[in-house]
């Protein structure tokens, strides 16, 4: 059949281009524009080139110091949160009933924290942890523990980490549960015929089958925790001192508190690049581990 050249189809993609331009590209370019200039308001701009970036990436400057300090806090926070939520999510998913009335019940209970708006989560824990009127804070102090998240950086961190675990472990658990449910019964039957122990069933069947959803869960949790703003802002406001000031909080202080738009814009760009690079690296590493698997899925049923 003769192919008739028809370029009209490009018009069909046009709406997407327009939408993406207005929602992402144009605002992003505005930020890029700010990041290479200095402004003192009144719509007056002075060219600054890569000046802000140099300052930002040099830890010895005031800006760079603040940036790296909060970047480290963020990375440590994400690492702790991932290290707790992923194993916990797997354990919860394994413990969930596979059939019967308990399924609906546990799904609803698990979904509850996910349905609560983030600032409400913050408020809940802010009050919960207060040592004067909060159930948790008051109880801990009564038990003789000196717990005060407003004054003690460690307590503040524990509070925020526990809050995040409470808020988001369900997501990991639900994703893992979906992965577990997709394993056909025959695998378990075969494993029992092969005499596999509970642990062998986990390592030989369940974990490999969950790997794909775990990649997604880890990515989602990394991105979310790396961009965390609302909850620590509501609970600690970044304090005590700067101990829970994460990148996003630092950024808001810089842009809206000090009105340093140029510095804030440069920081935003670097922040975004970090997220993109880490996610890309993470995704590549995690999917390469299971790449043969994907290729084979396409092949199975074929000739030898």
Partner 1 sequence: MARIDLVDLAHTYGSDAAGAPVFALNPISMTWRQGGAYALLGPSGCGKTTLLNIISGIVRQSHGKVLFDGKDVGALTTQQRNIAQVFQFPVIYDTMTVGENLAFPLKNRGLGRAEIDRRVGEIAELLDLTPDLRRRANRLSADAKQKISLGRGLVRADVAAILFDEPLTVIDPALKWELRSKLKVLHRALDLTMIYVTHDQTEALTFADTVVVMYDGAVVQIGTPEELFARPSHTFVGYFIGSPGMNILPARVEGRRAEVAGRTLALARSYTTLPAKARIEVGIRPEFVSVAPPAPDLATAKVDRVDDLGRSRFAHVRLGEQRVAARVPRGVPVGDEVGLQFDPAQIHVYADSHLIEGQRVEGEV
Whole-number Å distance between alpha carbons of 10 and 296: 35
Minimum separation from the CB atom of position 291 to partner 1 (A): 11
Minimum separation from the CB atom of position 205 to partner 1 (A): 7
Q: Residue 111 in 3-state DSSP?
A: helix
**How many Å separate Cα 94 from the centre of its chain?**
23
User: Which residue number, 1 or 193, has a Cβ lying nearer to partner 1?
Assistant: 193
301 near partner 1, rule: CB under 8 A: yes
User: Which residue number, 45 or 187, has a Cβ lying nearer to partner 1?
Assistant: 187
Q: List all residues 6 or more positions away from 97 whose beta carbon is below 8 Å from its beta carbon.
A: 103, 106
Among 31, 84, 204, 278, binds partner 1 (CB under 8 A): 204
Residue 242 phi/psi, 5-degree rounding, is -115, 15
288 near partner 1, rule: CB under 8 A: no
Count the neighbouring beta carbons within 10 Å of the beta carbon of residue 290. Answer: 14
Whole-number Å distance between alpha carbons of 294 and 291: 5
100 near partner 1, rule: CB under 8 A: no
Number of residues that bind partner 1 (CB under 8 A): 26
SS3 percent helix, strand, coil of the chain, rounded to 5, is 75, 0, 25
Nearest to 179 by CA among 270, 287, 64, 94: 94
CA torsion, ordered 199, 201, 206, 208, to nearest 10 deg: 90
**How many Å separate Cα 76 from the centre of its chain?**
13
What b/e string do you get for 82-116 counting C-beta neighbours within 10 Å, with b at 16 or more?
Answer: bebbbebbbebbbebeeeeeeeeebeeebeebeee
296 near partner 1, rule: CB under 8 A: yes
Minimum separation from the CB atom of position 296 to partner 1 (A): 5
Among 15, 60, 292, 298, binds partner 1 (CB under 8 A): 292
286 near partner 1, rule: CB under 8 A: no
Whole-number Å distance between alpha carbons of 252 and 264: 8
**How many Å separate Cα 221 from the centre of its chain?**
3
197 near partner 1, rule: CB under 8 A: yes
Minimum separation from the CB atom of position 99 to partner 1 (A): 14
User: Which residue number, 54 or 287, has a Cβ lying nearer to partner 1?
Assistant: 287
Among 27, 59, 65, 208, binds partner 1 (CB under 8 A): 208
User: Which residue number, 21 or 285, has a Cβ lying nearer to partner 1?
Assistant: 285
- Is residue 222 within 8 Å of residue 279, measured between CB atoms? yes
27 near partner 1, rule: CB under 8 A: no
209 near partner 1, rule: CB under 8 A: yes
Q: List all residues 6 or more positions away from 268 whose beta carbon is below 8 Å from its beta carbon.
A: 31, 35, 251
User: Which residue number, 280 or 295, has a Cβ lying nearer to partner 1?
Assistant: 295
293 near partner 1, rule: CB under 8 A: yes
User: Which residue number, 13 or 193, has a Cβ lying nearer to partner 1?
Assistant: 193
Residues 133-192 that bind partner 1 (CB under 8 A): 184, 186-187, 189-190, 192
- Site stretch for partner 1 (CB under 8 A), options 159-167, 199-207, 226-234, 249-257: 199-207
Minimum separation from the CB atom of position 299 to partner 1 (A): 7
- Contact residues: partner 1, CB under 8 A: 184, 186-187, 189-190, 192-197, 200, 204-205, 208-209, 292-293, 295-296, 299-304
């Amino acid at each position: 059949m003769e192919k008739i050249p028809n370029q009209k189809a490009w018009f069909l993609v046009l709406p997407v281009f327009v939408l993406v331009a207005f929602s992402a590209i144009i605002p992003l370019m505005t930020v890029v524009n700010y990041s290479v200039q200095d402004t003192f308001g009144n719509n007056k701009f002075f060219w600054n080139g890569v000046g802000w970036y140099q300052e930002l990436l040099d830890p010895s400057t005031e800006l760079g110091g603040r940036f790296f300090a909060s970047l480290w806090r963020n990375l440590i926070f994400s690492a702790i949160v991932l290290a707790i939520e992923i194993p916990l999510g797997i354990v919860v998913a394994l413990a969930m009933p596979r059939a019967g009335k308990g399924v609906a019940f546990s799904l609803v209970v698990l979904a509850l924290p996910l349905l609560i708006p983030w600032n409400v989560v913050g408020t809940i824990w802010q009050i919960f942890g207060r040592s004067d009127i909060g159930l948790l804070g008051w109880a801990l102090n009564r038990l003789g523990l000196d717990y005060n998240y407003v004054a003690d950086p460690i307590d503040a961190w524990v509070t925020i980490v526990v809050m995040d675990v409470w808020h988001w472990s369900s997501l990991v658990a639900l994703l893992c549960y979906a992965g577990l449910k997709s394993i056909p019964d025959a695998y378990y039957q075969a494993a029992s015929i092969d005499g596999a122990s509970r642990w062998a069933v986990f390592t030989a069947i369940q974990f490999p089958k969950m790997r794909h959803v775990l990649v997604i869960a880890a990515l989602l949790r990394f991105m979310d925790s790396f961009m965390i703003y609302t909850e620590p802002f509501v609970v600690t406001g970044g304090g005590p001192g700067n101990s829970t000031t994460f990148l996003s909080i630092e950024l808001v202080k810089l842009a809206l508190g000090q009105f340093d738009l140029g510095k804030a814009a440069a920081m935003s760009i670097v922040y975004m690049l970090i997220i993109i690079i880490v996610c890309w690296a993470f995704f590549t590493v995690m999917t390469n581990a299971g790449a043969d698997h994907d290729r084979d899925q396409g092949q199975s049923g074929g000739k030898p």
